[in-house]
Amino acid sequence: MARIRAAVFDAYGTLLDIHAAMAAHAARLGPDWRCISQDWRAKQMEYTWVRSLAGPAHHVPFFALTREALAVVAETHGITDRALLADVLAAYRTLSAYPEVAPTLQALRAPGIARAILSNGEPDMLADAVRAAGIETLLDDVLSVEAAGVYKPAPAVYRLATDRLGLEPAEIAFLSSNPWDAFGARAFGMRVFWVNRGGGPDEYGLRGAVAELRDLGGLLPALA
């Protein structure tokens, strides 16, 4: 089996807490904020898949889809406070990283494993995110699907990583908390580590086919 020479991470949900934006304004959103946040995420992902399937002419940047999804979910849940929605949307650009993220990225430096992000986010959105999360200096590269013009799990997205890093898929450890993303990377030939933070059920036949972690703290032992 090829030696792993790079670790490529999904950003939203894997390195960054996607529910932190609504958690920061939970008092204003009310007791159902977790449900609202989950609905927002589901709608956001739905929009990426629909636009990808509709073709290149329908591609728009991720932050625009995030804004659009928030508006729909707000209407569904009867949220009419525009200032609140603006604050939540702004908070999405500065999500906090999970606590084990920085130590894990730092630890990968010693064995010489390259560290990169491969994300649906557009470049300026990702620049804001990694800066706010305090992990900017712990990454060797940040790759956006905008270079491919299509969203995950299209093969062209994963090819961005192999092309930029100059590696074969089997030389890359790909980490994602999203089962559909893990499936896409596995189909492309990458060595996948499914970061199943919520302890969710098996999807796409991942369990047993890829390494499964509860968080990124288990990555170094798994690589060893």
- Which residues have a catalytic role annotated? 10
Where would I find the beta strands (DSSP E) of the chain?
6-9, 114-119, 141-144, 172-176, 191-195, 211-213
What's the CA gap between 120 and 143, in Å, rounded?
A: 9
d(CA 14, CA 2) in angstroms, rounded, equals 24
**Tokens standing for 181?**
């993303």
From CA 29, how far away is CA 35, in angstroms rounded? 11
Crossing angle of the two packed helices 62-76 and 33-54, in degrees rounded to 10: 130
> What's the first-to-final CA gap in the chain, in angstroms?
13
Three-state DSSP state, 184: helix
Burial 31-51 (b: 16+ CB within 10 A, else e): eebeebbebbbebbbebbeeb
* Contact between residue 40 and residue 222 where contact means Cβ atoms under 8 Å apart: no
